[in-house]
Structure 1
Amino acid sequence: EFLESCLPVDWEEAGIQVRGFVGNPSYTRHNRLGQYLFINRRAVVSPIISRAVREGFGTTIPPQRFPVFVLHWELPQFDVDVNVHPQKKEVRLRDEEEVIRIIRKAISQSLRKKEEPKILSPKPYVSPNFFQKEYTSVEIPPATVQEPVVTYTVKEEIVHPEFDFTELTPKQLGPRILNTISGFILAEPEEGGIIIIDQKRAHHRVLFEKMKAHSEAQAVQTLSLPIQIDLTQVEADAMREHLLLLESLGFGIREFGKQAYMVDAIPQSFSNNDIQTMIKNIMEDLREYPAATEYVAIRERHLASIASRGTISSSARLSLTEAQELVRQLWDCKDFGQCPQGKKIWVCLNNEKIRELV
């Protein structure tokens, strides 16, 4: 079962080689029992690497699920300390942040290489009745929008003004749209069969990636009065070690003495009610997670929750042009296979599978 659901990993960078397999986002477990790690041909345990693999999947798997993997690492001997465990099962890595960066990149690249349906160039033929209804409806006077008609184009144009219809190539358009039904888009892959797309999950992924790009543009709020934070020695050491990370997340922090820091800006999405407590809580988390990448995952879960509130209805029926635009935006996403909650967005049924179902 694992072999049918796995993705190959093959990455080399900075003298470090990573090879093996990871389960695809649909093949996960509720614990870490399916995780096997080898470093320099020795079976080991590394919570740091396990967490980094999970983070490499981003929002493509649900928060409480764990990926399955078999990974072989080749690292320079001086980068690995195997003497931290009596049976030499657990290892300590000399440069944990570099290893985490590489494994996240390796997993991300493997996910991007997942086989996707081939794009089918639009053909002249369409479903005549549905297509005619779609375009003749545009001529209906605005007042008819209030009538309970089955003309979905006019209704949905009001609900979704953000769709931008432009002339695009077949590759940019994504799979050719065949039809739409309430909640779903039906498209055609090149090899035949049909792609069934959940429009609500597709829209969730599109909105999430737009919001993520916006948040990474450093939306910050400047404090009218800078706040001095007094830290313990341990907290101050953690602050000093992870200052660049905090700045990348939108915090404006500068050293103001041996164990004191001045905060003059925080991320736009954070509350400024009790900044001192917030900073101390962050320092506590950074001490627990030396690689400090968990905050990226927390931010992504927060964005996913916000994006879910703005998605289109699961019962609405899109016009063909709206469906094509949504699919175009979905196929433009980094992760277009799963929504930010880790649920599958689409399934592809080939002709053989369809015959089995009929």
Structure 2
Amino acid sequence: MANQIAAGEVVERPASIIKELVENSLDAGSAFVTVFIRNGGKSLIEVTDDGSGMCRDDALLAFERHATSKIKDENDLKAIHSFGFRGEALGSIASVSRLTLSTCLTGEEAGAEVVIEGGALKNVKDSAPIKGARISVSSLFFNIPARRKFLRSEKVEASHCQEAVIRQAMGRPDARFRLLRDGRQAFDTRAIPEKEGLMGRIKDLFGEDLAKELTPVDFSYGAMRLTGFISRPGTSRGARDTQYIYINGRYVKDRLINLAIADGYRSLIPKGRYPALFLYLSIPPERVDVNVSPTKMEVRFIDGRAVIELVRSGLYDSLKSSRDVKKDFYPPAGVSFRPHDRFVASGAPAPDQPQVSLAQPDATLEPETPVIGREDFGMLKNLPLGQGAELFHFDFALPDNFVVVGQVFKTFIVVEGADRLLLIDQHTLDERVNYEKLVSALNDGRVDTQELLFPVQLELSRVNSEFMAQNLENLQQLGFVVEAFGESSFNLRAVPALLLNTDYKSAVIDILDTAVDDEIDTDFSIVAETAINIIACRGAVKAGQSLNKEEARSLLSKLARCALPYTCPHGRPIALTLEKDELLKGFRRR
């Protein structure tokens, strides 16, 4: 009965069993793990490894509660190094299935086979020696029909099982993993040589295209270290299905780390989009508690702020330095051409969506000291990008001997290089420049302010006036000098210089409305982030505004000195490239 109660927490679905069994295999020193599933794991799960195996007595004892725990005293609980440590999994799994364990201790002449059904021992006998262990779990939840009823379809459960194996494989690139689904091989990953490292496993499981979107991370903070690979700016996905986070080799899901990731990518990807990343945190075991839940995927930190700073600063450092990677590491623009519509054959496929490519870094334009500080302004309130949009990383740098050709649609600057054309959105460009300038100025306490010739009176709602009255000093740090002038009236005496020739009154109202609507008035750091976005956008060159070549060149020079010149603060891309070769192919000159 106790094992069945524990199974309610440990065994949620077939994928839960795979996780526990594969972790046991890795703890036993396995270098090759094979997982076989049938009917999405509902009918059969079989895990075979080449680990150290067990003798007959240990094989019987393994199904007793806590008998396989690695914890010898309370000090071990404070510094856990193994995947398993509770000693609950095997007994819990056996209590809700028909389980057969075949194993042999390394060096022994005979193995052992143990058969358990619904938690009851049915048979134990000697068997032919095998290397490691093989555990077969069939008829999951046969004795708990209510639990079996809530399992999903075969396809869904199989997908979860495959993901469970991938999570283990990403945590141990040095081991080989094979997954078989209903007799067909889903994948067979090789043990990755040390010289290939994690990138070799990423290529094997996720393909070359994803690998080309990534940039390495290697950052230390005190006794902690962050390594791995992350998406370059401009590349995002609609879900977190390519986010793999490990602490001391253990796959985890943690809210604090997710917040740090979002903060690290603030202003680089749109709201509702997520970067691909493979992050590995090395933290002294005594500073992280993995004994939080039976699944061991939740953790608690002694110093959560330090972990946030490690992740956030590590991402920022990597994204900033990714500008120096050579162009030929990335995919070219995938621009497709077609003749005039009247020549398109009936039923012809639509052209592919143009994708952002790379421009080679220009050594003649040395970036200034990064202007974005690491102070916490909170989460960026991104605007959504068009549904289904997927962009490759664009690493902004002016091509050698670039020429500003001009402007099209009074919106895009056209730049010609030796082998490509750049189409640059003038508004998103200037918005990025303004954003970084304002963040730097706010960090230094020197936002440029322009005093108004005549004060502007603001009549505010009760809620907005309360917020205004409580944050007059904070708003002044942003460049707004405001004085109370009655119960719900205020005089606006100075504004950020960027807003001087704009509708600064509506900008103030928008900042107040956002703060009150989002119920973030207790955390002005987030209001500051929102205000910076609004000021940067309102003060930027507008679409539809004519620019001459010198004005365009000046904007481009400012962008080249930005720390993260990839997107506007809302996540929209700044530039697209058209390669000369693609143009020649499109016009059938090559």
Normalised to the residue count of structure 1, the TM-score between the two structures is 0.62
- Distance in 1 between residues matched to 2:398 and 2:277, nearest whole Å: 33
**1:73 and 2:301 equivalent?**
no
> Which stretch of the first structure deviates more once superposed, 24-33 or 93-102?
24-33
Shift of 1:356: 3.8
Residue of 319, 329, 333 corresponding to 2:548? 319
- Distance in 2 between residues matched to 1:210 and 1:12, nearest whole Å: 27
1:350 counterpart letter in structure 2: E
Structure 1 counterpart of 2:455: none
Maintained 8 Å contact 1:112/1:335:
yes
- Distance in 2 between residues matched to 1:341 and 1:324, nearest whole Å: 24
Structure 2 counterpart of 1:184: 412
Shift of 1:209: 1.9
Maintained 8 Å contact 1:39/1:72:
yes
Shift of 1:185: 1.8
- Distance in 1 between residues matched to 2:316 and 2:526, nearest whole Å: 14
- Distance in 1 between residues matched to 2:299 and 2:276, nearest whole Å: 20
2:415 counterpart letter in structure 1: A
- Distance in 1 between residues matched to 2:527 and 2:271, nearest whole Å: 10
Secondary structure, counterpart of 1:62 in structure 2: coil
Maintained 8 Å contact 2:361/2:398:
no
Maintained 8 Å contact 1:81/1:91:
yes
- Distance in 1 between residues matched to 2:313 and 2:583, nearest whole Å: 37
Maintained 8 Å contact 1:187/1:194:
yes
**1:198 and 2:198 equivalent?**
no
Secondary structure, counterpart of 1:109 in structure 2: helix
2:223 counterpart letter in structure 1: G
- Distance in 1 between residues matched to 2:314 and 2:585, nearest whole Å: 37
- How many residues align? The count is 257
Structure 2 counterpart of 1:42: 250
**1:343 and 2:551 equivalent?**
no
Q: Could you report, residue by residue, the CA deviation over 1:261-312 in whole angstroms, capped at 9, with x for unpaired residues?
A: x9994342598889xx99xx76977xxxxxxxxx655532331122212222
2:423 counterpart letter in structure 1: I
Structure 2 counterpart of 1:234: none
Give ranges in structure 2 of 5+ residues lacking alignment: 1-208, 324-358, 366-396, 448-469, 489-514
Secondary structure, counterpart of 1:18 in structure 2: strand
Change (3 A) 1:357 1:94: farther
Maintained 8 Å contact 2:430/2:540:
yes
Secondary structure, counterpart of 1:59 in structure 2: coil
Change (3 A) 1:172 1:337: closer
The higher radius of gyration belongs to: 2
**For residues 347-358 of structure 1, what are the structure 2 equivalents within 5 Å?**
347-358=576-587
Secondary structure, counterpart of 2:361 in structure 1: coil
Maintained 8 Å contact 1:174/1:328:
no
Q: Could you report, residue by residue, the CA deviation over 1:43-93 in whole angstroms, capped at 9, with x for unpaired residues?
A: 111111111011011211123322221111111111111011221101111
Maintained 8 Å contact 1:179/1:187:
yes
Maintained 8 Å contact 1:56/1:108:
yes
1:91 counterpart letter in structure 2: V
- Distance in 2 between residues matched to 1:12 and 1:340, nearest whole Å: 27
- Distance in 1 between residues matched to 2:531 and 2:245, nearest whole Å: 30
Residue of 432, 441, 444 corresponding to 1:217? 444
Q: Could you report, residue by residue, the CA deviation over 1:153-198 in whole angstroms, capped at 9, with x for unpaired residues?
A: xxxxxxxxxxxxxxxxxx9999733311232222244x62222211
Change (3 A) 1:52 1:297: farther
Change (3 A) 1:117 1:348: farther
CA RMSD of aligned residues (A): 3.5
Shift of 1:325: 0.7
Structure 1 counterpart of 2:354: none
Secondary structure, counterpart of 2:227 in structure 1: strand
Maintained 8 Å contact 1:173/1:324:
no
**For residues 199-278 of structure 1, what are the structure 2 equivalents within 5 Å?**
199-218=426-445, 265-268=473-476
**1:117 and 2:344 equivalent?**
no
Maintained 8 Å contact 2:404/2:552:
no
Structure 2 counterpart of 1:233: none
Shift of 1:30: 3.7
1:181 counterpart letter in structure 2: Q
Maintained 8 Å contact 2:240/2:274:
yes
**For residues 150-169 of structure 1, what are the structure 2 equivalents within 5 Å?**
none
Change (3 A) 1:120 1:77: closer
Change (3 A) 1:36 1:296: farther
Shift of 1:217: 3.4
Secondary structure, counterpart of 2:444 in structure 1: coil
**1:88 and 2:316 equivalent?**
no
**1:55 and 2:263 equivalent?**
yes
- Distance in 2 between residues matched to 1:22 and 1:96, nearest whole Å: 22
Shift of 1:346: 0.9
2:406 counterpart letter in structure 1: T
Q: Could you report, residue by residue, the CA deviation over 1:229-255 in whole angstroms, capped at 9, with x for unpaired residues?
A: xxxxxxxxxxxxxxxxxxxxxxxxxxx
